[in-house]
Chains A and B, each alone.
Chain A
């Protein structure tokens, strides 16, 4: 398998992560970052920091060293740092930078990239538990582009017209 092809697909995966994370965060209640579902479950701010951490860990396989992000003072700052990390990691992929210590694209995908995607799903679940659920959509036609990794993500192309679990005030 050619490295270039694999990395392009990994870049697309990161873009999907940016899109889904923003979908889970867009129009969230002001205090969502500190929402605690129950003891032992990460808050949204802690989850986003953890997502940054696993992606930063992935980056160490390009640059060496260690990465352990300290908690930032606001949820907004955590979100900005997450998207910055996405962009930095994607740039390593685009540059064709060598992976260190025998790391492979497959292991990046099965490890931190997939980790982060599972946590994006948890953010969406926490939205529901916080009383502000995220409307469903058909993601296969979503406008997801490898060069769009920041907070400014597209609105859904194909939002679901039927949402059985919708809150009472929802309108398609």
Chain B
């Protein structure tokens, strides 16, 4: 993949940072205060547990960073305790976002990041959300249009000013 800067590359990186922040906001909500034993809730044979899905999201974000740096590597991790896996999720987001915010070259087109690991991670956040409902601990609906999401805000400390509904 070429590392030569393309026209508008910085603009694309900024929008990529915004979707990373969106993932932090939405993912953070999906994993916060889960019902008891949610980590190991297996809804059907062959289906991933929430703990396995969250570990996979962490792997996707690690993969995204490796793609960005031009040293692509994939690793299937073993799920950690829920609290630790949540911490890993935010740490991986932070590492990826920090690279995007730097002056280091992006070794893959932002389009590839969008369609690959970022879209993947979003789909898995949706799955955790659905599993919460099935497990009896749904999260509240929200108008995410109005959410206070901003590039660089990728930690657990997300805005509490939310437009939620039941």
A residues sitting closer than 8 Å to B (CB atoms) are 1-2, 4-6, 8-10, 12-13, 15-17, 19-20, 37-38, 40-41, 103, 105-107, 109-112, 114-115, 117-122, 124-125, 128-129, 133, 138-140, 142, 144, 165-167
Contact = CB atoms under 8 A, between A and B. Distances in A.
Interface stretch (B81-89, B95-103, B117-125): B117-125
Contacts of A128: 44, 46-47
Interface in B22-47: 22, 25-26, 43-44, 46-47
B126 interface: yes
Given A122-B130, A165-B48, A110 B115 contact: no
Contact of A117 (B15, B126, B134): B126
Q: Interface size for chain B: under 10, 10 to 19, 20 to 34, or 35 or more residues?
A: 35 or more
Given A38-B134, A107-B145, A128-B44, A5 B11 contact: yes
B43 A129 contact: yes
A1 B10 CA distance: 8
Given A119-B126, A122-B127, A167-B46, A9 B114 contact: yes
Interface in B106-140: 108, 110-117, 119-120, 122-127, 129-131, 133-134, 138
Contact of B145 (A2, A10, A112, A144): A112
Contacts of A115: 144
B87 to A, nearest CB: 22
A107 B12 CA distance: 15
A112 B111 CA distance: 19
Given A40-B133, A140-B115, A114 B22 contact: yes
B143 A111 contact: yes
A121 B126 contact: yes
Contacts of B119: 13, 16-17, 20, 117, 139
B130 A125 contact: yes
B117 A140 contact: yes
B123 A5 contact: no
User: Which 6 pairs between the two chains have the least Cβ-Cβ distance?
Assistant: A121-B123, A118-B126, A140-B116, A111-B145, A5-B8, A121-B126
B127 A125 contact: yes
Given A110-B18, A111-B143, A133 B11 contact: no
Contacts of A165: 46-48
